[in-house]
């Protein structure tokens, strides 16, 4: 679940937070998004899915300020071992994600999770 300080200032309509992260060693990235449960941003979700990412986890919850939020995780399989991404897939997928998210005025910096964060 993404840590949200507040739901009063979304990063895009219906989108409260987006994180692009990979578990170590950092080859295959996932998209983590916290979106408005009352009015899910279908354009944003469709755009991410249009890149070949599939929803692998959704969990609704109520934020401490009372707003209902849905935590969505998207994953895209690659052609490397265990459906990981090759170096070329990583470069291409991250570039495409950046371009699509820029269309929603969302900027993110892909990151590799710490071991403690990745395997809890």
Q: What is the pLDDT of residue 51?
A: 97
Cα–Cα distance list, 82 to 76, 78, 98 (Å): 12, 8, 24
Give the tens place of pLDDT for each residue, 44-80. 999 999 999 999 999 999 988 888 999 999 999 999 9
**pTM > 0.85:** yes
**CATH architecture group of domain 15-105:** 2-Layer Sandwich (3.30)
Q: What are the residue ranges spanned by the domains of the chain? A: 15-105
CB-based burial label for 115 (10 Å; 0-12, 13-18, 19+)? exposed
CB 7 within 8 A of CB 57: no
pLDDT above 80 for 120: no
Contacts of 87 (CB under 8 A, 6+ apart): 27
Residue with tokens 């090759």: 86
């Amino acid at each position: 679940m993404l840590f949200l300080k507040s739901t009063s200032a979304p990063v895009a309509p219906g989108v409260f937070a987006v994180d692009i992260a990979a578990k170590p060693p950092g080859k295959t990235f996932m998209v983590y998004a916290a979106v408005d449960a009352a009015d899910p941003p279908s354009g944003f979700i469709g755009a991410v899915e249009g890149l070949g990412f599939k929803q692998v986890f959704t969990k609704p919850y109520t934020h401490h300020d009372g707003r209902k939020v849905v935590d969505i995780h998207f994953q895209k399989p690659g052609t490397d071992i265990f459906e990981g991404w090759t170096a070329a897939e990583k470069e291409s997928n991250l570039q495409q994600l950046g371009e699509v998210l820029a269309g929603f005025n969302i900027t993110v910096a892909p990151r590799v999770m710490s071991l403690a964060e990745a395997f809890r």
